[in-house]
Structure 1
Amino acid sequence: MRPKYFSPFFLGLAASLIFSLPAFAENERVVVHGREFALKNSGVAFLPRGTNFNRNENRILPDGSPEWWYRTFDVGYYQPEMVEPILAEIEKSDYNYVRIFLSGQHPDAGFGRTSPGVDDAYVKNVADFLRRARNHGLFVVLTGQFAAGQWLPKNYLPLTTPLENVDGSNQLTLNPSYGKALGQFYRDLLIGLKAQPDDVLSAIFAIDIHNEISVNKREKPLSAGSGTFTYNNHEYNLADNSARQALIDAATVSWANTVIDSIKTVDRQILTTASVFTIGASGNAGFNGASLSDGGDGRAALNPKVQAKSKADFLDIHVYAAGPNYNFEKDMQKEGLSPSSIPNKPLVMGELGTFRDVSPTREIATATLQSMIAKSCGYGFNGWGFWIWDGVGDKSNDVWSLTTNEGAMNAFFAPSANGDLCQAHNSPPVPMAHPNRRGDVLGYIDAIGSNPATVNGWACAREIDQPIGVHLYVNGPAGLGIMAGGVTTADASEPAVAEACEAGGKAYRFRIPLTGEVLEKHAGATVFVHGISPVGRANLLIGNSGALKIPGASAAPSAPVVATPAVNIPDPVLVPSPARVASPALAAGYYEIAGTIYYS
């Protein structure tokens, strides 16, 4: 649903304006071209340069033990003011995507439901983050990973069928019902997001359907060194490592395709992947069927070269440099990758980092990572996501974050500081591809003036020189409040305002008159101003909406109008969607909600 141009205030002009509306601007999407990414509309190459960002807290597991877990989107925990300043800082470094986990206590508890479904409050939290990220020029990778032992949001477990000879984390890939249930979760989430205002789905770069997916040789059926296991009507000999690997490979493709097919039923443009850690990270010698003779912690990552045969759009391998003696070439050799053997799909490093205990100083950490990343270019990697933005988002805080030591790591990794990571030294910054933000509304309510009584401020549409319309509501935003006026920005504005708008216009200020009727009926009411995007983007509330109140008809004047610095950039605001009301006076596709005309 997109608020459009009209209100009862302008109904007399509706008939003449309907047929001269500008075309809706299609939001940019990331697409795959061979082994590279590009922006769909412009065709500009898209090189993923991003960071992981999460917030976590201690939670109590079913056995009563505590565990740190990511919970950014949990209902009652997520707050816009928590993420907004972080996204602004990430934007300053010129990153073009951020990766974040969908996990949390809320989904692990089943969203407060006993049957499948994602509750509206959780969906709105995710939508708010997507909208804010895009407003800061960032695409988003949404990443799935849920409580150990259930592997899904709790209310999706009824969709699964237990198998006697499969347990633990192996259920995810070797029990087909778990793949179907996970796919249903993503389908439900995306349907909820699709119903939100302003096409938030276009902010999604990709869905990582499960973080660091693996099997475990200490759990059934792989814990058995003899006997057979039947998967998709094919029998595999568990005593033969090659047969065991064939089983894992078959499950890799089938599981990924099952989940991805569900995602694509909602939006075929969303890219997908299933991230893995390197096979050597858990102590395995290679992709040898999760051999019981290997040591390690029991986990065996799925083979990315096999994943390339699935419907995943790109591959994501997580690499952590284990100190200055870390050998990237040997790690990739175990992956079956070499400069002459590169997968036929884009390959990104969605998590990369180094640990404090093996890289004790920032000089060692920087040199280790810089060398590793430069070498990765020769192996086909063309995208990197640092782990992690800050220590608050890391459950153990044992890695070097980008903001550690006043941003020492960011000084070499940020696109604004280092244009070409394929060099083993910093190089001049280069232009980065970002989501299309042209037409996004921003602005600020400065004050309520007197003699005459007016609501004063500035508003614009990003990268557009022309003035825009602004609509005034009292006692709530559009859909909740009452419309009390509207004008087009026409007053002279300062160069600083144009700079914030990333445009060259000179008339972004407005004064919306408060009539005597409004002053009498709505004295003490809070004011809200929506900017009207001329290219069909969301008609967002501008900054300071809901903070100022209308004085009484005979009240003393409010503070004088002061030109507000252009740094007052509004936050995107979610507006509830009340029931539609048909309006026969309007053209097809338009309808009215609480006094505002919308287009669908």
Structure 2
Amino acid sequence: MERRLPPSGRLRRGAALLVAAALFGGCGLPAPPPASGPATATAPADGTSPGASPVVTGGTPPTHRIGIRKARGTAEFFDRASGARFVVRGANDHHLAVGPDGLVADRTFAPGSYDGAAAEADLRAMRELGYTAVRTALDICQDDCIGDPAGGLRSAYLANVADFLRRAEAVGLPVLLETNDLPKLGGYVPRVEATCCGTFDGYMNSQYFSPVGLAVYREYWTDVIHGLRDAGAPLGAILAYGLRGEVWYFADKPPFSLTSGVVTTANGRTYDMANRNDRSRMVTDGIRFWLAEMRKAILAVDPDALVTAGVFAPNTPNRWRPANDTRTVPVAGVFDGSDIDFLDIHPYPGYVPLAALMQNFGVTGKEKFPVVMGEYGAFKFAFDSPAAGASGLMSWQVASCRYGVDGWFHWHYQGTDDQEVWTGTEGDGVINAVLSPRERPDPCRTKSFPFLEEDLARGATVRASRSTSDGRPRLAADGIADTIWQSGAGPTQWIEFDLPARSTLRSVRLTVAQYPNGSTRHVVLVGPSAESLRAVHTFSGTTRDGNVLTWTPSSPLTGVRVVRILTTRSSSFVAWREIALIGPSGD
């Protein structure tokens, strides 16, 4: 999940971690393509389904249980032993903690912190829920991490990774094992930094495009794969190697900040920086060459392994990160022409609709390789409880099937130390349950659960006393805090939600849009119709932009058809970022 710079992958997580990966993630966009892949398939709890015969029928048996084949013209995962289609459904497994430096780090494999028995218990719990795979990272950490201060990699750390792989193999969960960045220790980083700053930036751009940077990252992968083998790791337990958790580069740093001269990159080709086409080719050629070189390093030791690479969503054509975020992400077409076996995308709900993110990714459902959603999670700013997050993630997962997505890992399985995202074990494990194959064998269909919550405002007809041309009432109920209903005038103003049917209302959550700060008064009115409303609660006090006002009645309100938020006092024009009307799912 992306934490290196403020925009997950994660816009809100940027300042928290200097080393890590996974990020973030409408109306009026083109309709998505017809469903493909798992949209028409119901996967049994073991993750397999009937399919074509295995492509490997003789010779040396493959080391890895899961492979990729073409079936009816579509690339899909399959079990090499049984020949059955394999549906990737799992969770990210990390043990996050805030260190003395204030940075969030993954303690999963750190010597002194790793607990093999606890790891196995988690893996067995995942398997009991029907999950078929697990995703984890080697290096979401800094000082107490994989790098050895004496140089190279720590053998004790690799031994813990090997032990985890043995336990995962015993449980029957293939592991997607990925790297996020060069380790801080071990001697890798200084050599890349030495390439700064004339032609390359000494960091991310150097790693991909400079000969030294690429060679260092290839050395890191070579050390990882040899180290795991020497530690006795069962490499066959690995579903795939994630060459990088998230691939991106800086558009405003060299070589891309150069507007003249020529640059020779790691692939030996020379590009004219005054030529727009050459600059574009540099990206495509360079990323593909980097992926190919990392893949070679792995296959030299593990010849039949699968490899992948992750991405958070590009920021065009639908902007969902700040305009001054210069991290640039290659689109799916760049990877489609590369040597990776499948693409790992990371769209998170809470910013813009999935259709907009998929358009940014360039994912259409017609890719030559499978596409896996390696990260998606419930941000606390978007969902006010684990139950609300579970409902939102279920809908997000189902919607992804329309784009041929072939696998899912939610962020993440357990814990309470993720300050921004509801984890799978919070709220009595509702997220882990709702996304599990045991409870929902078909990932492409929703299911009613009595404990889930639903934002009733999303399906309502929204009206207001008045609005500006760029601040229509619907924007207060689109699930996106950065879009705002604006009345364009001061009090008294109101916004009203006409629900499709009489419903049960459990709580009301209002996200303030206000400048300047000041005293406000907002009245919540409900009723069976707009003509018979009654006041049920008043928010009164000093508020500021971004505040969240929540009211939960002592008992749910039944028979509610219309909800109106009436503002009678405010220091600014009346507006709302988001209004959520929480009721039981499927009410």
After TM superposition, the score normalised by the length of structure 2 is 0.59
- Find the counterpart in structure 1 of residue 353 from structure 2: 327
Secondary structure in 2 aligned to 1:77?
coil
- Find the counterpart in structure 1 of residue 209 from structure 2: 174
Secondary structure in 1 aligned to 2:328?
strand
- The aligned amino acid for 1:95 is Y
> Are the counterparts in 2 of residues 38 and 46 from structure 1 also a CA contact under 8 Å?
yes
Q: 1:286 to 1:304 in 2, by over 3 A?
A: farther
CA distance in 2 between partners of 1:362 and 1:109 (Å)? 32
CA distance in 2 between partners of 1:218 and 1:258 (Å)? 25
- Find the counterpart in structure 2 of residue 373 from structure 1: 397
CA distances 1:546-582 after superposition (whole Å, capped 9, x unpaired)? xxxxxxxxxxxxxxxxxxxxxxxxxxxxxxxxxxxxx
Q: Does 1:315 align with 2:355?
A: no
Q: 1:77 to 1:136 in 2, by over 3 A?
A: same
Secondary structure in 2 aligned to 1:352?
coil
- Find the counterpart in structure 2 of residue 113 from structure 1: 150
- Find the counterpart in structure 1 of residue 187 from structure 2: 155
Q: 1:188 to 1:235 in 2, by over 3 A?
A: closer
CA distance in 2 between partners of 1:277 and 1:69 (Å)? 20
CA distance in 1 between partners of 2:188 and 2:108 (Å)? 20
> By how many angstroms is 1:392 displaced?
4.1
Q: 1:190 to 1:109 in 2, by over 3 A?
A: closer
> By how many angstroms is 1:227 displaced?
5.2
Deviates more, 1:100-109 or 1:261-270: 100-109
CA distance in 1 between partners of 2:223 and 2:144 (Å)? 13
Q: 1:108 to 1:120 in 2, by over 3 A?
A: closer
Q: Does 1:98 align with 2:134?
A: yes
Over the matched positions of the two proteins, sequence identity in percent amounts to 29
- Find the counterpart in structure 1 of residue 35 from structure 2: none
Secondary structure in 1 aligned to 2:135?
strand
Secondary structure in 2 aligned to 1:187?
helix
> By how many angstroms is 1:328 displaced?
1.3
> Are the counterparts in 2 of residues 274 and 315 from structure 1 also a CA contact under 8 Å?
yes
CA distance in 1 between partners of 2:231 and 2:357 (Å)? 43
Q: 1:158 to 1:217 in 2, by over 3 A?
A: closer
Q: Does 1:274 align with 2:316?
A: no
> By how many angstroms is 1:349 displaced?
0.5
- The aligned amino acid for 1:169 is M
Q: 1:371 to 1:56 in 2, by over 3 A?
A: closer
> By how many angstroms is 1:157 displaced?
4.2
> Are the counterparts in 2 of residues 286 and 335 from structure 1 also a CA contact under 8 Å?
no
> Are the counterparts in 1 of residues 88 and 133 from structure 2 also a CA contact under 8 Å?
yes
- Find the counterpart in structure 1 of residue 445 from structure 2: 423
CA distances 1:483-511 after superposition (whole Å, capped 9, x unpaired)? xxxxxxxxxxxxxxxxxxxxxxxxxxxxx
Max radius of gyration: which structure? Answer: 1
CA distances 1:345-372 after superposition (whole Å, capped 9, x unpaired)? 1110000123111222445433432222
CA distance in 1 between partners of 2:130 and 2:219 (Å)? 35
- Find the counterpart in structure 2 of residue 338 from structure 1: 364
CA distance in 2 between partners of 1:229 and 1:121 (Å)? 41
CA distance in 2 between partners of 1:271 and 1:367 (Å)? 32
- The aligned amino acid for 1:369 is L
> Are the counterparts in 2 of residues 159 and 177 from structure 1 also a CA contact under 8 Å?
yes
- Pairing of 1:171-570 with structure 2 (within 5 A): 171-197=206-232, 200-224=234-258, 228-231=262-265, 232-238=267-273, 242-280=277-315, 284-285=316-317, 295-322=323-350, 326-339=352-365, 342-362=366-386, 364-392=388-416, 394=418, 397-425=419-447
- The aligned amino acid for 1:425 is K
- The aligned amino acid for 2:214 is G
Q: 1:352 to 1:241 in 2, by over 3 A?
A: farther
- The aligned amino acid for 1:261 is K
- Find the counterpart in structure 2 of residue 30 from structure 1: 66
- Find the counterpart in structure 2 of residue 513 from structure 1: none
> By how many angstroms is 1:230 displaced?
3.3
CA distance in 2 between partners of 1:122 and 1:79 (Å)? 12
- Find the counterpart in structure 2 of residue 78 from structure 1: 114
> By how many angstroms is 1:315 displaced?
0.6
> Are the counterparts in 2 of residues 48 and 382 from structure 1 also a CA contact under 8 Å?
yes
> Are the counterparts in 2 of residues 277 and 318 from structure 1 also a CA contact under 8 Å?
yes
CA distances 1:79-98 after superposition (whole Å, capped 9, x unpaired)? 22342322222222111111
> By how many angstroms is 1:59 displaced?
4.3
> Are the counterparts in 1 of residues 64 and 239 from structure 2 also a CA contact under 8 Å?
no
CA distances 1:386-439 after superposition (whole Å, capped 9, x unpaired)? 011123463xx2112212211111221011111111113369xxxxxxxxxxxx
Deviates more, 1:184-193 or 1:405-414: 184-193
CA distance in 2 between partners of 1:319 and 1:327 (Å)? 10
> By how many angstroms is 1:246 displaced?
2.3
CA distance in 2 between partners of 1:226 and 1:28 (Å)? 48
- Find the counterpart in structure 2 of residue 497 from structure 1: none
> Are the counterparts in 1 of residues 178 and 242 from structure 2 also a CA contact under 8 Å?
yes
CA distance in 2 between partners of 1:32 and 1:50 (Å)? 18
- The aligned amino acid for 1:69 is A
Q: Does 1:58 align with 2:92?
A: no
CA distance in 2 between partners of 1:25 and 1:224 (Å)? 50
Q: 1:73 to 1:106 in 2, by over 3 A?
A: farther
CA distance in 2 between partners of 1:229 and 1:75 (Å)? 43
In structure 1, runs of 5+ residues without a counterpart are 1-23, 428-600
What is the RMSD of the two structures over their aligned residues, measured on CA atoms?
A: 2.9
CA distance in 1 between partners of 2:245 and 2:61 (Å)? 33
- Find the counterpart in structure 1 of residue 496 from structure 2: none
- The aligned amino acid for 1:331 is L
CA distances 1:417-465 after superposition (whole Å, capped 9, x unpaired)? 11111113369xxxxxxxxxxxxxxxxxxxxxxxxxxxxxxxxxxxxxx
> Are the counterparts in 1 of residues 146 and 158 from structure 2 also a CA contact under 8 Å?
no
Secondary structure in 1 aligned to 2:392?
helix
- Pairing of 1:134-153 with structure 2 (within 5 A): 134-146=169-181
> Are the counterparts in 2 of residues 412 and 426 from structure 1 also a CA contact under 8 Å?
no
CA distances 1:198-229 after superposition (whole Å, capped 9, x unpaired)? x6111111111111110012322223455553
> Are the counterparts in 2 of residues 50 and 96 from structure 1 also a CA contact under 8 Å?
yes
CA distance in 1 between partners of 2:205 and 2:384 (Å)? 36
CA distance in 2 between partners of 1:301 and 1:355 (Å)? 22
> Are the counterparts in 1 of residues 136 and 178 from structure 2 also a CA contact under 8 Å?
yes
CA distances 1:285-343 after superposition (whole Å, capped 9, x unpaired)? 379xx9xxx924221112222112111111111110116xx42112211222324xx21
CA distance in 2 between partners of 1:28 and 1:272 (Å)? 12
> Are the counterparts in 1 of residues 416 and 426 from structure 2 also a CA contact under 8 Å?
no
In structure 2, runs of 5+ residues without a counterpart are 1-59, 450-587
After TM superposition, the score normalised by the length of structure 1 is 0.58
> By how many angstroms is 1:172 displaced?
1.7
- The aligned amino acid for 1:162 is T
> Are the counterparts in 2 of residues 173 and 179 from structure 1 also a CA contact under 8 Å?
yes
CA distance in 1 between partners of 2:63 and 2:302 (Å)? 14
CA distance in 2 between partners of 1:239 and 1:123 (Å)? 45
CA distances 1:107-137 after superposition (whole Å, capped 9, x unpaired)? 76731323x4x33322211110001111222
CA distance in 2 between partners of 1:108 and 1:402 (Å)? 25
- The aligned amino acid for 2:195 is P
- The aligned amino acid for 2:148 is F
